């Protein structure tokens, strides 16, 4: 690998057989993560309706029944001469899984549904696969095409741009693409990196996640604890569940993914879905304000601080939707409101009375001058008593001359 890539998904069975691209399975239970994220409460305020979420990835297989109605015509930047250049083809299956987490529609005989079930998915295909053959063919993930995908998504009107990929390369075009997308009104949400899919396993910056405009996502396990499978560091902003993920699988039905590991790719998709809910509820706000809502409302032990393992904490979509920003919240600084100035209270007189008369200042000044005069007299008397002592002490020490 070149240091660029998505997470690898380990498939687990949802019924009696292993997940297969050609065998349709439907889950009779809802995704466990939705309960952890209080999705039912969040859906009272927003479902993602009218919000376009771009999935810059391996494409999205719109044949999956959960996605047929939610996936718009996008683009294919990796194989532009393909018969279907809309991005609705996915050999890898990675982009399809990400899209399902975000906006899988409800279908009969299945309890699987996305966190933003009424959002629209815009597929932006920037790689085919991530194996050696794809590397040799030039169709594996690489920073330039990721940048082009972000640029295309922003120009197409996406309000949230999901990038479940990371690279150790601080690429100028990638940086510029993020800035331009933010200025166009889109929030870029990106993976903070996976230790299991990179040659550089150090806790170091990953891009585009590490750019200041981006919401960088790491993953936690089923207990809400950070995992060694994920890259940590100063670039991490927020966390989300990344294991035992029930989502869409190729053109078939449902599949439980990453049952044996933790994937920041899937955690990123949950945060993008939460961002879609926020964008629907607060369309007048900026991407920076959406970002603030998500990090400020995240669950953490200390409301005033972040850490390199989970950033500001685990995403809470329902709380992000209910948050009232007046600048006084603990944690990150609001982009819209300055922190209020706290006045220092003046202690009342000892007897508890409050003098509000116009002469209050005169009385205080008089009292101060009177006290000063008393102190001056006392110092003068004390000085007079001590004048002779140093001289007598000097004679006693010096002796007769």
Task: Out of 265, 272, 296, 297, pick the active-site residue.
Answer: 265
Distance CA 266, CA 9 (A): 9
Task: Out of 57, 203, 229, 254, pick the active-site residue.
Answer: 57
Does the annotation mark 265 as catalytic? yes
Contacts of 388 (CB under 8 A, 6+ apart): none
**Other residues' Cβ atoms within 10 Å of the Cβ of residue 148:** 19
Please answer whether residues 252 and 22 qualify as being in contact, where contact means their C-beta atoms are separated by less than 8 angstroms: yes
Does the annotation mark 94 as catalytic? yes
Distance CA 293, CA 237 (A): 12
Task: Out of 94, 232, 235, 250, pick the active-site residue.
Answer: 94
Distance CA 149, CA 338 (A): 35
Contacts of 294 (CB under 8 A, 6+ apart): 215, 238, 271, 274, 275, 278, 315, 320
Distance CA 339, CA 327 (A): 5
Distance CA 182, CA 158 (A): 11
Catalytic residues: 57, 94, 265
């Amino acid at each position: 690998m070149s240091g660029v890539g998505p997470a690898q998904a380990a498939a687990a069975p949802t019924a009696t057989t292993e997940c297969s691209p050609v065998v349709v399975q439907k889950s009779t239970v809802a995704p466990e993560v939705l309960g952890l994220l209080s999705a039912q409460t969040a859906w009272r305020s927003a479902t993602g309706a009218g919000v376009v979420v771009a999935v810059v990835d391996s494409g999205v297989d719109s044949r999956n029944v959960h996605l047929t109605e939610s996936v718009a015509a996008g683009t294919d930047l990796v194989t532009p001469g393909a018969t279907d250049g809309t991005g609705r083809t996915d050999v890898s299956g990675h982009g399809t899984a990400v899209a399902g987490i975000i906006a899988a529609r409800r279908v009969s005989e299945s309890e699987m549904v996305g966190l933003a079930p009424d959002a629209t998915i815009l597929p932006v295909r920037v790689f085919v696969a991530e194996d050696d053959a794809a590397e040799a063919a030039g169709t594996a993930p690489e920073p330039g095409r990721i940048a082009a995908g972000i640029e295309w998504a922003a120009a197409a009107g996406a309000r949230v741009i999901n990038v479940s990929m990371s690279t150790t390369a601080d690429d100028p075009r990638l940086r510029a693409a993020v800035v331009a997308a933010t200025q166009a009104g889109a929030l870029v949400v990106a993976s903070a990196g996976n230790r299991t899919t990179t040659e550089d396993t150090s806790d170091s910056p990953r891009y585009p996640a590490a750019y200041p405009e981006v919401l960088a996502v790491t993953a936690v396990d089923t207990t809400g604890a950070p995992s060694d499978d994920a890259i940590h560091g100063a670039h991490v902003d927020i966390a989300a569940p990344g294991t035992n993920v029930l989502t869409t699988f190729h053109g078939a039905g449902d599949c439980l993914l990453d049952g044996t590991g933790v994937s920041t790719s899937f955690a990123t998709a949950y945060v993008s879905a939460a961002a879609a809910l926020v964008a629907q509820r607060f369309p007048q706000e900026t991407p920076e304000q959406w970002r603030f809502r998500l990090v400020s409302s995240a669950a953490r032990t200390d409301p005033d601080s972040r850490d390199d393992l989970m950033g500001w904490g685990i995403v809470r979509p329902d709380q992000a939707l209910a948050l009232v920003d007046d600048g006084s919240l603990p944690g990150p600084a609001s982009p819209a409101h300055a922190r209020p100035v706290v006045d220092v209270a003046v202690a009342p007189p000892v007897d508890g009375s409050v003098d509000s008369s116009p002469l209050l200042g005169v009385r205080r000044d008089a009292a101060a001058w009177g006290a000063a005069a008393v102190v001056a007299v006392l110092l003068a008397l004390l000085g007079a008593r001590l004048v002779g002592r140093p001289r007598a002490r000097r004679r006693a020490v010096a002796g007769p001359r």
